[in-house]
Amino acid sequence: MSKTLLINARIATMADPSSLGLLNNAGLLVDGDTIAWIGPMADGPDNADTQIINCGGRLITPGLIDCHTHLVYGGDRADEFEQRLEGMTYAEISRRGGGIRSTVTATREASEAELLNQSRPRIEQLLNEGVTTVEIKSGYGLDCENEIKMLRVARQVETEYSVRVMKTFLGAHALPEEYIDRADDYISLVCDQMLPQAHAEGLVDAVDVFIESIAFDLPQAQRVFETANALGLPIKAHVEQLSDMGGALLASEFDALSVDHIEYLSAEDVCGLADKNTVAVLLPGAFYVLRETQLPPIKALREQAVPIAIASDANPGSSPLNSILMTMNMACTLFSLTPVEALRGVTINAARALGLESSHGSLEPGKQADIVIWDLNKPSLLAYQIGINPCSGVMQAGQWRKPFKEGAV
C-alpha cells in the first residue's frame, strides 16, 4: 500500500504568500513520494487502498530546511571561543592565521571517513528536529583535493541518511596559507580548476563566496560568479557580515539565490535586492556567538518584501549551532522575527534560497511529501520553546524516517 492519509491534523501548509496557510481539522494524502491531496477532512478522498493515520489534532508542517550550513569539517575551535571571551575579535583571530584557516588544517588532515564520523552528531541532531533538506558547503579544503573531499562527504551524508543535501562549493571562503599575498592567483585556481573539477564530479548545486575584508573583494568575487554563470550554476554569497562591502548588490546582479548574514547591509541596498527575487538569509547563531550588535535591516527587508530565510550556519567558528529549532528561537529573540516569519524562514523561504521552491518548502499537491508531525497544537510553540524537541514523526519523500505513533495530544 503506497498511499497514506494523515487525518485530524492542524496543517501549516506554508502555501500562502504571507501567512502559515493554516488548515484546521485537515487531512493530507501521500501517494508514493508526493502529496496527492490536502484539505479539510470533510472533503477528504476515498479511503480505499490507503493507510489512515490519526494525528490527534497535532500540528503538521513541511519538512524543515536548513539552507546554510558548514557542517562537514574537521576538529573544533573551542580555543578561539575562549580567546573571544577574553576580548579578541573574530577578525583579529582570523588575521593572526586562526579562524577558518585553523579548520582548514584539521579538515585537510582528516580522511573522508573521519570527516563523515565527525559530521554525524551534527546532521543527526538536525534530522531529529524535523530537517528534511540541508545545505552543506565546502570551504575548509581550499585546494582541489580537499574541497572535493568535503563535497564527497556531503554526498555521503545524503546517501547514508536519506536526507536531501544541497551541496555548495565555497572554495572562495578564505585565502589558504600557501597563497598569502597572492589572492588573485588563488581565485584563478578556484575558477580554472577547483570549481570545474568539483562540478564535473556532479558535486556542485550552487557556488558561494565570502566577500569581506578578511576574505575576498568584489572583483575577486565577480570572477567566481562569472565562472559559476558560465557553468550554469546558481550563486549565493556571504556578505556584509562584518562590514558593508557592497557584496549583496554584486551578488544580486548575478541573480543570486540568496545573500547571507547581511548585518551591515544598508537599507538602500535592500531595494536593489527586492527586484531580483534574491532571498535574505539571516544567521542568528553567528550574530549570537560573535556577540554582534549591528542588526540586519529587518524593517527594510519587510518593507521591500524581500523573502527572509533563517539558517543555523552550523560551523566550528562563528556558529557551533546544530539546532534548527534553536535557530528559530534566536531569530525571534535577537532579530524580532515573528514566529510566522521564523517558520517561513525554515520552510518555503529556505526552499527559495536553495532554488527548490517548486518541489519543496510547502505542503501542496504535487510537491514532495516531506512532512513533520509535531507534538504541539500551536505553530508559535515551535519558536517559543527552548531545549524541547516536539518532533514526533518525519516523512521524507513519502517514507517514514521517524515513524509517527498514534496517541492523543
Give the separation between CA 207 and CA 138, rounded to whole angstroms.
Answer: 10
Q: Does 318 bind ligand NIG (CB under 6 A)?
A: yes
CA–CA separation, 114 vs 49, rounded Å?
A: 45
225: helix, strand or coil: helix
Encoded one letter per residue, x for contact with ligand NIG by CB under 6 A and - for no contact, window 253-292 reads: ---------------------------------x------
Q: Which stretch binds ligand NIG (CB under 6 A): 35-43, 159-167, 312-320, 351-359?
A: 312-320
C-beta of 220: minimal distance to Fe ion in Å? 18
- 296 is a site residue for ligand NIG (CB under 6 A): no
Entry field: residues in the chain? 409
Q: Give the whole-angstrom CA distance, residue 242 versus residue 263.
A: 7
Determine if 315 is a binding residue for ligand NIG (CB under 6 A).
yes
Strands, DSSP E only, in 228-352? 235-239, 258-261, 279-282, 308-310
Q: Smaller CB distance to ligand NIG: residue 125 or 318?
A: 318
Is the CB of 234 or the CB of 284 nearer to ligand NIG? 284
Alpha-helix runs per DSSP H in 129-256: 144-161, 183-189, 195-200, 218-230, 247-253
% helix / strand / coil in the chain, to the nearest 5? 35, 25, 40
Could you tell me the smallest distance in angstroms from the CB atom of residue 184 to Fe ion?
23
Which range in 179-187, 246-254, 308-316, 330-338 contacts ligand NIG by CB under 6 A? 308-316
Within 54-113, the residues that bind ligand NIG by CB under 6 A are: 70, 99-100, 103
Residue 210 interacting partner from Fe ion, ligand NIG, none (CB closer than 5 to 8 Å by kind):
ligand NIG
286 binds, among ligand NIG, Fe ion, none (CB under 5 to 8 A by kind): ligand NIG
Measured between alpha carbons, how far is 66 from 140 in angstroms, rounded to an integer? 19
Residue nearest to ligand NIG (CB): 317
In the complex, least distance from residue 164 CB atom to ligand NIG, rounded to whole angstroms? 21
- Binding-site partner at residue 103 among ligand NIG, Fe ion, none, CB < 5 to 8 Å by type: ligand NIG
318 binds, among Fe ion, ligand NIG, none (CB under 5 to 8 A by kind): ligand NIG
Does 308 contact ligand NIG by CB under 6 A? no
User: 31 vs 114, which CB is nearer to ligand NIG?
Assistant: 114
> Rounded to the nearest 5 degrees, what angle is found at the Cα of 163, between the Cα atoms of 203 and 388?
135
CA distance 326 to 389: 10
Of 237 and 356, nearer to ligand NIG (C-beta) is 237
Closer to ligand NIG by Cβ: residue 143 or 370: 143
CB 170 to ligand NIG: min, Å = 8
* Contact flag: residue 247 with ligand NIG (CB under 6 A): no
Q: How crowded is residue 182: how many other Cβ atoms within 10 Å of its Cβ?
A: 12
Contact 321, 285 (CB under 8 A): yes
Comparing CB distances to Fe ion, the nearer of 313 and 341 is 313
# of chain residues touching ligand NIG (CB under 6 A): 14
Q: Which does 21 bind (CB under 5 to 8 A by kind): Fe ion, ligand NIG, none?
A: none
For position 316 contacting ligand NIG by CB under 6 A, the verdict is: yes
Question: Any long-range contacts for 127-130 (C-beta under 8 Å, 24+ apart)?
Answer: 127/161, 127/163, 127/394, 127/401, 128/389, 128/391, 128/402, 129/64, 129/323, 129/324, 129/325, 129/389, 129/391, 130/61, 130/63, 130/64, 130/324, 130/372, 130/374, 130/391, 130/394
- DSSP classification of residue 211: B
List interacting residues with Fe ion (CB under 5 A): 313
Q: Report, in Å, the least distance between residue 288 CB and ligand NIG.
A: 12
Per-residue x/- track, 186-225, ligand NIG (CB under 6 A): ------------------------x---------------
Q: Please report the sign of the dihedral spanned by the C-alpha atoms of residue 328, residue 244, residue 298, residue 236.
A: negative
Please, are residues 67 and 353 in contact by the beta-carbon 8 Å criterion?
Answer: yes
The residue (of 13 and 168) whose beta carbon lies closer to Fe ion is 168
For ligand NIG, the binding residues (CB under 6 A) are: 70, 99-100, 103, 210, 238, 241, 286, 313, 315-319
